[in-house]
Amino acid sequence: MIEGKAVGCGITTFNRPEQLQRLYRSLPPGVIDHVVVVNDGLPFEPDFGDDAHTFIQNERNLGVAKSKNKAIEHLLEAGAEHIFLIEDDIFVQDPSVFERYIDVSRTTGIQHLNFSQHGLMNKTADGRPNPRATITYEEGLQVPFYPHCVGAFSYYSRRCLLDAGGMDEGFYNAIEHVEHTLRIIQSGQHPAFWYFADIPASASYLGDETWSVEQSTISSRIDRDLIVRNATAYFQEKHGVVPVALPLASSEDFVAGLQDILARYGQSRQCRAAPETSGNRGMALAHKYCVGSGIELGAAAHNAFYLPQCLNVAPSDGINYVHERDLADYLKYKQAQVDRTGEMIKVDLVGDFQSIHCRNQAFDYLVSSHVIEHAPNVLAAYVESQRVLKDFGVFFCIFPKRVAAKSDATRALSTLPAMIEAFQLGVDVHSMPENDWREHYQVFSLQSMLQVINYLNNSGLGCWYIECVEETDSKVGNGHTIVVRKFEGLAGTRWLDETAFAGEFSRLWQAGRLGEALAMLKVSLSFDFFDAVKLHLAAHLSRELGDSHEAVEFLRQALIVEPENEEFRKVFYEWTGSYFTNPVL
């Protein structure tokens, strides 16, 4: 009991009796009033000693959602005011953890918090916490908000469970906690989606196993991919959009939502965002999408993005290299930066677009500017980028217009069949001729690059969700920009029936669920970008949602597909004050 209110703890376990016992033994005595354990795996006899706690053995495997609901129902009936749900690969390191979560909830008014540091999703490549934002409350409390929702240890107030209900049991073993948190957000008791609240320094209070697919008795199931696809489809059926396509709130809306929660439920008198460290330098679009820890391929001091927690990847660091010729190139690369800015950006990792020396799913974003045209195997570059990005990670790519370099101006565009052949042959820099070493092996238009993305998604080589494009990049102005997001569930969210697509899209639009309607369009454009009607609709929805810049770019692409569409041309003039001219001609 904490400050006179009962504390309940619900534990779910699946074929891990030793880990369950470790967790149970780590619970602090005298703090938790009610403990219920739900075993969703093979039967066994737990060792609770002399403690009179409840053990529920499911007659058959029911899944996480149903098992957690049994725990929630039991604890609510027992009168618990503070409820914790814990999975069996967590254990307590600091017994004050329960009081700490309750105190943060009481101070901020946020009624639901999740331990963020289980697994890799909310960490930098070297394992440090990687919040999207940090908010300071009047008492000096700094609360981190993370981009990914992890459900291994969760705190709920009794109020939010009574208002939002339990888990949706249709999710079985995947996404159940994400959808549950979304409903708590919709009830006004947790901040905006993609800003998931935790306590400060939570990793010092809780321990967990070094996460891997193999050690997880749920993630290691042979039918795991099917379970996730089914859960994603069910989420889309229920909410009209896949989880990754839920819109990211602006920082202003995020803070406003926190202030509303604070006014209704909290004890602090004010909250404010922590100051940005990178200011307004760099490129606004990159700062919008490149959040967390990431890498830049071929970073240069004279063309910096000023992204926080961004490592520089280059073919050589002066000692190590991808190809021995990269040692000489490094000296030129270094001198060019020093000549222009007086300094050079340190090389953190050695690699190129086809060989980045890091573990799988290491980063939240990968950014490159005027680099991918130097890759001899473009499809392999995308495959490698997908490997190093976490699910939902962003690939932010600027590449030169075909007239940016005189040597490219009269060259033909690189063709998709040639790229496919290079991929099938396994071409890399070691198989390239010495002449024009690491020069522009490729020439692109924005449209030819979008054809590459469509091909990757349709062939199963990629799962790239198109966020936005720029016909002329907003950084220097001599290139094109694409922003795509790795989404492993992309194929399962595609509407193949255009009639059904139109009906669902219309329903979302009429219901005012514009973000979800836009996400439907972006999924479709990820497989076939050159649909003028969908591009036009994406433009209007982006504008309605406050993204005027992205709206104009979608409309521009619609006009490239249908340059004589007078309605599109009229809207373009109304939005920009200038007449459309076709940049492809």
Give Cα 271 to chain centroid, integer Å. 26
The 8-class DSSP code of residue 405 comes to S
Distance separating alpha carbons of residues 87 and 85, to the nearest angstrom? 7
In a domain, 1, yes or no: no
Calculate the alpha carbon distances from 485 to 61, 142, 245, 380 in Å.
34, 30, 10, 17
Query: For the chain, what is the total number of helices (H) and then of strands (E)?
Result: 17, 20
245 with 299, same domain: the answer is no
Q: Is residue 583 part of a domain?
A: no
Compute the distance between CA of residue 497 and CA of residue 139 in angstroms, rounded to an integer: 54
Distances (CA, A) of 523 to 148, 347, 407, 458: 21, 36, 36, 12
Residues 455 and 433 both lie in one domain? yes
pLDDT score recorded for residue 228: 78
Last residue of a domain, one of 241, 273, 305: 273
584 in any annotated domain: no
| Contact present, 194 and 147 (Cβ < 8 Å) | yes
Residue 468 is inside which H or E element, if any?
A: strand 464-470
CB distance 122 to 129 below 8 Å: yes
Q: What is the CA radius of gyration of the chain?
A: 26
Q: What tens digit of pLDDT does each residue of 178-235 get?
A: 999 999 999 999 999 989 999 999 999 998 876 443 444 444 445 567 777 788 888 8
Residues 6+ apart with CB under 8 A from 506: none
464-470 vs 479-486, strand pairing mode:
antiparallel
Q: Cα–Cα distance between 277 and 281 in angstroms, integer?
A: 10
386 and 335 in a common domain? yes
pLDDT of residue 210: 63
**Interatomic CA distance for residues 29 and 165, integer angstroms:** 29
Same domain, 560 and 571: yes
Give me the CATH number covering residue 310.
3.40.50.150
* Phi and psi at residue 37, to the nearest 5°: -115, 130
Q: Are 88 and 191 members of one domain?
A: yes
Q: Are strands 153-157 and 112-114 parallel, antiparallel or unpaired?
A: antiparallel
User: Does residue 585 sit within a domain?
Assistant: no
Which of 420, 425, 423, 414 minimizes the C-alpha distance to 449? 414
Distance CA 55, CA 244 (A): 36
Which of 439, 460, 491 finishes a domain? 491
Domain range holding 552? 494-576
CA distances, 418 to each of 73, 125, 378, 530 (Å): 60, 35, 10, 21
Domain of 128, CATH number, reads: 3.90.550.10
CA distances from 576 to 538, 542, 548, 568 (A): 17, 15, 10, 12
Instruction: Identify the CA nearest to 138 among candidates 255, 268, 275, 273.
Output: 268
> Does residue 61 form part of some domain?
yes
Q: Collect the ranges in the chain with pLDDT lower than 50.
A: 211-221, 275-280
pLDDT tens column, 65-85:
999 999 999 999 999 999 999
Question: Same domain, yes or no, for 525 and 549?
Answer: yes
**Residue 279 domain-assigned (yes or no):** no
Residues 353 and 214 placed together within one structural domain of the fold: no
CA distance 201 to 116: 10
Please tell me the predicted confidence (pLDDT) of residue 498.
95
Site of tokens 């473009």: 378
Query: Residues 81, 128: one domain?
Result: yes
Together in a domain, 303 and 400: yes
Q: Please, what's the largest Cα pairwise distance for the chain?
A: 83
Structural domain ending residue among the three candidates 238, 273, 308: 273
| Same structural domain, 125 and 214 | yes
Q: Please report, in angstroms and rounded to a whole number, the separation of the first and last CA atoms in the chain.
A: 72
Whether 40 and 119 map to the same domain: the answer is yes
| Three-class DSSP category at 393 | strand
Q: Does residue 326 sit in helix, strand or coil?
A: helix
Q: pTM of the full predicted structure?
A: 0.62
Name the domain count of the chain: 3
Report the 3 state secondary structure along 264-306.
HHCCCCCEEECCCCCCCCCCHHHHHHCCCCEEEECCCHHHCCC
Rounded distance between C-alpha atoms, residue 70 and residue 56, angstroms: 8
Asked if 448 and 399 count as a contact pair (C-beta separation under 8 A), the reply is no
Give the whole-angstrom CA distance, residue 290 versus residue 356.
18
Residue 372 resides in a domain: yes
Q: Are 108 and 136 in contact (CB under 8 A)?
A: no
CB contact at 8 A, 368 and 397: yes
Residue type, 316: S
Are 153 and 68 in the same domain?
A: yes
Residue 215 inside a domain? The answer is yes
Q: What is the CATH number of the domain that holds 505?
A: 1.25.40.10
The single residue listed with the structure tokens 């033909």 is: 412
